[in-house]
Amino acid sequence: MESVMSKYENQITIFTDYLEEFPDTDELVWILGKQHLLKTEKSKLLSDISARLWFTYRRKFSPIGGTGPSSDAGWGCMLRCGQMMLAQALICKHLGRDWNWEKQKEQPKEYQRILQCFLDRKDCCYSIHQMAQMGVGEGKSIGEWFGPNTVAQVLKKLALFDEWNSLAVYVSMDNTVVIEDIKKMCCVLPVGANTADENPLDSLTASNPSKDPSATCPSWKPLLLIVPLRLGINQINPVYIEAFKECFKMPQSLGALGGKPNNAYYFIGFLGDELIFLDPHTTQTFVDTEESGLVNDQTFHCLQSPQRMSILNLDPSVALGFFCKEEKDFDNWCSLVQKEILKENLRMFELVQKHPSHWPPFVPPSKPEVTTTGAEFIDSTENLEDFDLEEDFEILSVSDLFGDKY
């Protein structure tokens, strides 16, 4: 194991198809739902990109599981990308999409709390320790590469233990997003208004039969929506390119997880037919909280020029991410999908109102009945049997032919 780890120490991935400097062009650059005019707003664009939390390989953290690896160099890139997508959702929830980061400037306490969720310690809810051990329940050994769907399933399960953020995490099945199921997950009735055998939408309809089941909920649980896709066989099918780019324009966009086999990247936008991404393939030393209780965040923001790659070089196995803080955000997302995604003859994914009758009944995920915290719960992989194993068919039937390549 040590020889494998040493191979990746201080690794910084450089490929000839990555384009470093932005060209002199009048084209718009889209970053997570915001547009920038490159010619006149380059500094604003770079500031927006550097504000994103950047999670990379780390070394010298406590061994995962007590006896496992103390570095994720060489195998943790997709886990780090999943952390980046989730961190962006939490920033949108607590600070808003327009929040910006400045070096050595005091930040809101919510920012520090978000950052601490991802520190490389077993007691942090979205740490590399938690994600790697939860991956065992998805059939992945600690130290094994994850694919986009696997990391999505892991985040969905870890979120059940995160009471502070209280996210509803929905991972689509069979390229299909079901509006009815999402509303069941996210619709929360006031305390005392719901019963054990009733879901909130049923209760709403019963109290007012004239209301449609998709009527406005009294309270909405913020939604992290992840859509795993396979956009081709060995390479991305060009027919999907425009729809894929449209997703980065949506105000709910959290970007995409993907990259190349065994090399995952967090895609946050595009310029023309080039994708802009944050690269986790840099090994940095473990950072912990200081005596003040704060985290030195200088290594959690990428201050270099962002990397780009041609969209045609993208591996077809990806996962799109979206965040809907309120119900109106989800309704708006549905409208945008109807307008921009479903207009294509060969659709990137489907959006349906009702739960398909041939599917098993939808049951919103719930925290397992245990008497420990989430961190303690998955400190031993023996307890992972309490979770149902999500099968790979959830990406696309064709994925059974190719497997999880990251």
389: which residues sit within 8 A by CB, 6+ positions away?
A: 137, 138, 139
Hunting for tokens 């191979």 — which residue is that?
7
Question: Annotated catalytic residue: which of 36, 48, 72, 77?
Answer: 77
Coil, helix or strand at residue 221: coil
Distance CA 274, CA 312 (A): 8
Is the CB of residue 330 less than 8 Å from the CB of residue 217? no
Hunting for tokens 């999908």 — which residue is that?
337
Is the CB of residue 131 less than 8 Å from the CB of residue 158? yes
Beta pairing class for 253-260 and 317-324 = antiparallel
Distances (CA, A) of 160 to 40, 49, 165, 170: 44, 29, 10, 12
Distances (CA, A) of 175 to 92, 118, 223, 349: 25, 29, 18, 5
Torsion of CA 208, 213, 219, 223, to 10 degrees: 180
**Phi, psi of 300, rounded to the nearest 5 degrees:** -105, 15
Active-site residue flag, 77 = yes
Question: Annotated catalytic residue: which of 48, 162, 181, 279?
Answer: 279
Question: Annotated catalytic residue: which of 36, 125, 281, 315?
Answer: 281
Tokens of 327: 């119900």
Residues known to be catalytic: 77, 279, 281
